Amino acid sequence: MNTILFKTVHADANTARSGTVSFEFEGRILTAPGGISVAAALMQNQVLQFRDSPVSGQPRAPYCQMGICFECLVQINGVQNRQACMITIEEGMKIRMQHGQTTFAIVQTEDAE
């Protein structure tokens, strides 16, 4: 087996030195190296279901790992529809699986009139 294929890659030296972070997933306290994505942190903890399909109810998990497929949607700190592969894991995050159809919050910005 080529072990290089599974080596953790950090974006820069600062994130590589950020140590271990603790976070919560579905009420369980888990740990992961700092600087990696939420998706990577969950998969390192053998979490293989992130959400279920609002159409069929089938379990879903990350596929592309680069923000394209939206299979990795989870709820982070109470905010739904977060792409786990595009967000860096942080100390104390509260992550939950996303079930069924969700709603999008309307965000009002200063630019909008």
Secondary structure element (H or E) that encloses residue 38, with its range:
helix 38-44
Separation in Å, CA 97 to CA 6, 7, 109:
25, 26, 28
Told to check if 75 binds ligand FES by CB under 6 A, we report no
CA distance 101 to 65: 22
Shortest reach from residue 54's CB to ligand FES, in Å: 16
CA 66 to CA 47: how far, in whole Å?
A: 18
**Contact between 65 and ligand FES per CB under 6 A:** yes
String of contacts with ligand FES for each residue 16-55, x by CB under 6 A: ----------------------------------------
DSSP code for 21: E
Choose between 21 and 84: whose C-beta lies nearer to ligand FES: 84
In the complex with ligand FES, the residue whose CB is nearer, 64 or 94, is: 64
Q: Where are the beta strands (DSSP E) in 26-99?
A: 28-33, 51-52, 59-60, 73-76, 79-83, 94-96
Nearest approach in angstroms of CB 29 to ligand FES is 24
| Nearest residue (CB) to ligand FES, 32 versus 72 | 72
Is residue 64 close enough to count as binding ligand FES by CB under 6 A? Answer: yes
**Which positions lie near ligand FES, rule CB under 6 A?**
62-65, 67-72, 83, 85
